[in-house]
Amino acid sequence: MKYFIITFGCQMNKSDSERIASVLESAGYKSALKIDEADLIVVNMCSVRKSAADRAYGVLPKFEKLKIKKDSSGSKQQNLKTVLTGCVLKKDRKKFTEKFDFILDVKNLSKWPEILGSNPPPKTDNYLKIEPKYSNNFSAFVPIMTGCNNFCAYCVVPYARGSEVSRPAEEIICEVGNLIKRGYKEIWLLGQNVNSYNSISFSQLLKKINDIPGEFWIRFTSSHPKDFSDELIEVMADCKKVTEYLNLPVQSGDNEILKKMNRPYTIEYYKNLVKKIRKKIPDIALSTDIIVGFPGETEKQFENTIKLFKEIKFDMAYIFKYSPRPGTAAAKMEDTVPQKERGRREKVLTEILKETALENNKKYINKEIEVLVENKKSSNSWLGKTRTHKNVQFESKENLLGQFVKIKITNALPWGLKGEIL
Ligand code: SAM
Ligand code: SF4
């Protein structure tokens, strides 16, 4: 019996898929290289934006084909089962019930083998305690919490993932310790709001992970500006394994829009926070998330976001066109910004970002920096990341995947750097 997992969405979904793979393998399934070989197909979906949710619908014609193949040949595919999981909204559940054999909650992962008719179920009821089948042997996602209590007006996450639950610190430290013993070089601590982690404070958790012996980098995402304490800034600056990269979603550059979004901070607070962070960690690279065309966003309010972009000079930004999501507070607001205008606003911000990112990247030219090699681009061409999460392309005939290498930066582009291996 073989399984195939299709994952959409954020790192949290990718991390969940690693645990799903682990449970399926302990239940006797093997990984299929191609979807056509699978007896079980799992779609791990995302509902954050409509376009993301539509991707789950996009796979359905393929299922139909696979089922037709099954009928006519009567062969191996006969037992094809399909599972939908991830962030599934109540409203979509009904529609998907007809299309999938099962809609299963990842939180009940230990029950999946029983439901799917295989054995044995994992020993734990808490899905985060299940050891994942990590996707590679050098960089690992470690969820430290799930869910969200913030109810931003536009967002489905609190409905789809439930309220915040933090994993015990000892469990996280044990998982990271084992990964480091196995030679992992990069640990991504994941959560919808990592800095609302409350088993111990998030800064204390960072300190404890930083104390684990070994040569590795610590990254984390996402951070909510409202929970970013001075202690966390100090700890980031002091802990040598914590990298100089921060995703700090601002969502809008306008105070009125922030209020309507139910984001409990002002632009003045955000700018002051960035100032404090840059003072303590001068090399930090900053990325953000922005929603353009939120209901009622006027041209003037959008100009405030332009102003913020020009002022902060982000290294990266994830710019999203507002997408009304069922059940959220914003879905009831009058949707005043046409899709075409949202597209224009997205383009305007992307152009500013291109300039600021390039300006920031030029500072790396002639510097010798450490890079973790992540990907082979072509025969002798490799892609890696700096501590500041910048892409670096370089040439080497050696297989350097998963290793730290020293690179001299020779060229800067808006979305990355080029260099020579030393
Ligand atoms: N928890 C993080 C935070 O508050 O910053 C972000 C998590 S959310 C899954 C990722 C991003 O998706 C958000 O930062 C937001 O910019 C974007 N997003 C969420 N709902 C959206 C919507 N309805 N339309 C467009 N973008 C949306
Ligand atoms: Fe969504 Fe807001 Fe929670 Fe982030 S903090 S996951 S944007 S509700």
Residues 139-194: tens digit of each pLDDT? 999 999 999 999 999 999 999 999 999 999 999 999 999 999 999 999 999 999 99
CA atoms within 13 A on the CB side of 2: 12
Best mutation site among 49, 289, 297, 332 for ligand 1 pocket (most ligand atoms within 8 Å of CB): 289
Report the separation in Å between the CA atom of 322 and the middle of ligand 2, taken as the mean of its atom positions: 14
Closest to 106 in 3D by CA, of 15, 198, 1: 15
Report the separation in Å between the CA atom of 381 and the middle of ligand 2, taken as the mean of its atom positions: 38
| Model pLDDT for residues 279-304, shown as the tens digit of each residue | 999 999 999 999 999 999 999 999 99
Report the separation in Å between the CA atom of 308 and the middle of ligand 1, taken as the mean of its atom positions: 18
Across the beta sheet with 186-190, the strand order is 139-143, 186-190, 217-221
Q: Which of 9-18, 58-67, 192-201 has the lowest mean pLDDT?
A: 58-67
> What is the pairing mode between strands 416-421 and 391-395?
parallel
The number of the ligand 1 atom at minimal distance from the alpha carbon of 150 is 4
Give, using CA atoms, the residue closest to atom 13 of ligand 1: 289
Work out the mean pLDDT of the chain and round it to a whole number.
94
| Model pLDDT for residues 71-85, shown as the tens digit of each residue | 555 554 557 899 999
Q: How far apart are CA 247 and CA 59, in angstroms?
A: 31
Q: What is the average per-residue pLDDT within 120-132? A: 83
Share of the chain above pLDDT 90, in %: 87
Q: Which ligand is nearest to the CA of 154?
A: 1
Secondary structure tally for the chain: helices H, strands E: 13, 18
Strands (E), 268-366: 285-292, 316-321
Q: Which ligand is nearest to the CA of 325?
A: 1
The answer to whether the beta carbons of residues 16 and 104 sit under 8 Å apart is no
The answer to whether the beta carbons of residues 402 and 138 sit under 8 Å apart is yes
Q: How far apart are CA 180 and CA 104, in angstroms?
A: 32
Q: How far apart are CA 277 and CA 280, in angstroms?
A: 5
pLDDT band with cut points at 50, 70 and 90 for residue 378 = confident
> What is the pairing mode between strands 381-386 and 285-292?
unpaired
Helix (H) / strand (E) containing 62: helix 60-73
User: Which residues, 6+ apart, have CB-to-CB distance to 286 below 8 Å?
Assistant: 246, 248, 274, 277, 312, 314, 315, 316
Q: How far apart are CA 244 and CA 236, in angstroms?
A: 8
Q: How far apart are CA 331 and CA 325, in angstroms?
A: 6
Helix/strand/coil (H/E/C) assignment for every residue in 113-143: HHHCCCCCCCCCCCHHHCCCCCCCCCEEEEE
What pLDDT is recorded for position 91? 86
Best mutation site among 10, 11, 146, 150 for ligand 2 pocket (most ligand atoms within 8 Å of CB): 150
For ligand 1, is residue 342 a contact (CB within 6 Å)?
Answer: no
Q: How far apart are CA 201 and CA 231, in angstroms?
A: 10
The number of the ligand 1 atom at minimal distance from the alpha carbon of 263 is 4
Q: Is 197 exposed, middle or buried (0-12, 13-18, 19+ CB in 10 A)?
A: buried
What pLDDT is recorded for position 71? 55
Give, using CA atoms, the residue closest to atom 20 of ligand 1: 155
Extract the tokens encoding 398: 């050696």
Share of the chain above pLDDT 70, in %: 97
What pLDDT is recorded for position 169? 98
pLDDT band with cut points at 50, 70 and 90 for residue 63 = confident
The answer to whether the beta carbons of residues 188 and 219 sit under 8 Å apart is yes
Report the separation in Å between the CA atom of 155 and the middle of ligand 1, taken as the mean of its atom positions: 6
pTM above 0.85, yes or no: yes
Best mutation site among 48, 328, 337 for ligand 1 pocket (most ligand atoms within 8 Å of CB): 48
Report the separation in Å between the CA atom of 208 and the middle of ligand 1, taken as the mean of its atom positions: 29
For ligand 1, is residue 157 a contact (CB within 6 Å)?
Answer: yes
Percentages helix, strand, coil for the chain (3-state, rounded to 5) are 40, 25, 35
